Amino acid sequence: MTIEQLYEIYLRHPSIQTDTRKLTNGDLFFALKGPNFNGNKFAVRALEMGAAYAVIDEAPSDEEMPPPYHSDRLLFFPDVLKALQDLALHHRKQFTIPFIAITGSNGKTTTKELVSTVLASTYKTYTTVGNLNNHIGVPLTILSVQKDAEFAVIEMGANHQKEIEGYCQYTLPTHGIITNAGKAHLEGFGGPEGVKKGKGELYDFLRANDGTAFVMWDYDYLRTMSKGIPQILTYGTKDAEIVGNVDHSDPSFLTVTLSDGTKIHTQLVGDYNLPNVLVAVTVGIHFGVPAEKIIGSIEGYSPSNSRSQLIERDGNAIILDAYNANPSSMRAAIENFARIPDARPKLLILGAMAELGPESLAEHQAITELIGQYKWQDVVLVGGDFQKLEHPYKRFANSEEAKTWFKAVGIKGSYILIKGSRSSKMEEVLN
């Protein structure tokens, strides 16, 4: 079977599923494989549950395929994942609309949400759901784009070089945003310069394909990395086409003042979200979204999924930023939290950072030294390399132990920052 033939089937059955637990009638099931699972073993089961077809790369045994299910509903390809990605590329080629790719070490999901919200106020926009930003999520997102689309916004995550380059081969982005290139996934990228090279693969594609980049002009390294891209649109706190700065009149949420005096009162916590807001403004203006819709969309956006959420509980104000953490985002969150002018005592509950490789211990040590520059009501460090260091702060092996402590002490009337890598599960401290 060819990709063109598979595409004809996809057009009749455009709902794709890779997990039999989420199947609905008429779905097209892709039997993906991983280190600990083999979707081929569930292909016949998927048909029994109502899937229209199952794409496989291993033929089922006679025992696995009893009558009345026939081979014409099992579609064989040499590699199911490649078939999914090739199908996404074929689908992508049916569109002439802007495809905006977003990557970066920090802030890419918030940026994706803000950009897509701004565009959706005026145009039919499809975007990455949640954080489906990997080698499976990116093609699935592309295949979710329907024929009425006017824009597509695709988030790309990566933890090693050549990954973004691979995504670009079937996303074919016309526009791109690199939020930043900080200290994240150092182990996979091979250090900070490797991060820049890996994230810069998006710029490489735009440079080679007459693309457009939206560039945070405050970051000298992004200026350098983006050289040679045919169209560059800039944003920042100065010397850019779209200029904005933090207005500290509201200590709880980020307020942004643009160069023309326009104020945007967001529901985001942290000055580090300024670039995310500014790029959404820049994208909106570039594509002709009316100013009032740009402002209204950004002000109406409320973060979820443990991303800089502000939670009021038991008289405490809690910033829950437990979706992810790396040295760059951890440092920014701590410094921002320390600057917030709030009279309540401040408490840090921080989980360990993952995927830092040989630099992990030193990066955790640097965070403990940063913590020591400020005065806190208390500091709790949880798991990972925080446990291997000498420091004067409370320590727990995991979030469950931290949760037990948090409930036992009954903290009230405090300002609390909870942050850590996804693997630390720091949101469980509040459960």
Structural domains of the chain sorted by starting position, each given as residue range(s) with its CATH number in brackets: 3-80 (3.40.1390.10), 95-300 (3.40.1190.10), 309-430 (3.90.190.20)
Q: What is the pLDDT of residue 367?
A: 96
Considering only CA atoms, which of 15, 135, 119, 286 is closest in space to residue 127? 119
**Could you tell me the maximum CA-CA distance found in the chain, to the nearest angstrom?**
71
Q: What is the pLDDT of residue 183?
A: 65
What are 188's two structure tokens?
């996979």
Determine the residue type at 333. Answer: A
* pLDDT tens by residue, 129-144: 877 899 999 999 999 9
- The H-or-E segment that residue 84 falls in is helix 80-92
Ranges 11-15, 129-133, 134-138, 257-261: which has the least confidence = 129-133
- Ranges of H-type helices in 287-326: 291-300
Q: How many C-beta atoms lie closer than 10 Å to residue 229's C-beta?
A: 20
Distance CA 149, CA 141 (A): 13
Query: Does residue 238 register a pLDDT over 70?
Result: yes
Query: Does residue 66 register a pLDDT over 60?
Result: no
Cα-Cα end-to-end distance for the chain: 49
Query: Does residue 164 register a pLDDT over 60?
Result: yes
Q: How many C-beta atoms lie closer than 10 Å to residue 112's C-beta?
A: 26
Helix, strand or coil, per DSSP, at residue 75: strand
Return the percentage of the chain with pLDDT > 70, whole number. Answer: 95
Q: What is the pLDDT of residue 65?
A: 66
Give pairs for 219-228: CB < 8 Å, separation 24+. Answer: 219/180, 221/181, 221/196, 222/178, 222/180, 222/181, 225/178, 225/181, 225/196, 225/200
Q: What is the pLDDT of residue 69?
A: 57
Average confidence score pLDDT of the chain: 93
- Ranges of H-type helices in 148-208: 163-171, 186-189, 192-199, 201-208
Considering only CA atoms, which of 225, 105, 94 is closest in space to residue 152? 94
Query: Does residue 306 register a pLDDT over 70?
Result: no
Query: Does residue 193 register a pLDDT over 80?
Result: yes
Considering only CA atoms, which of 86, 99, 104 is closest in space to residue 159? 104
- Region 68-92: mean pLDDT is 91
- Region 20-48: mean pLDDT is 93
Helix, strand or coil, per DSSP, at residue 256: strand
DSSP codes of every residue in 339-375: HS--SS-EEEEEEPP-S-GGGHHHHHHHHHHHHTTS-
Considering only CA atoms, which of 183, 178, 115, 340 is closest in space to residue 250? 340
- Region 270-284: mean pLDDT is 96
- Region 87-98: mean pLDDT is 98
Model confidence, pTM: 0.88
- Region 17-38: mean pLDDT is 94
Query: Does residue 394 register a pLDDT over 80?
Result: yes
* pLDDT tens by residue, 315-365: 999 999 888 888 988 999 999 999 988 889 999 999 999 888 888 999 999
What are 114's two structure tokens?
């803000």
Which residues neighbour 191 within 8 Å (Cβ) at sequence distance 6 or greater?
Answer: 359
Tell me the angle at which helices 201-208 and 192-199 cross, rounded to the nearest 10 degrees: 30
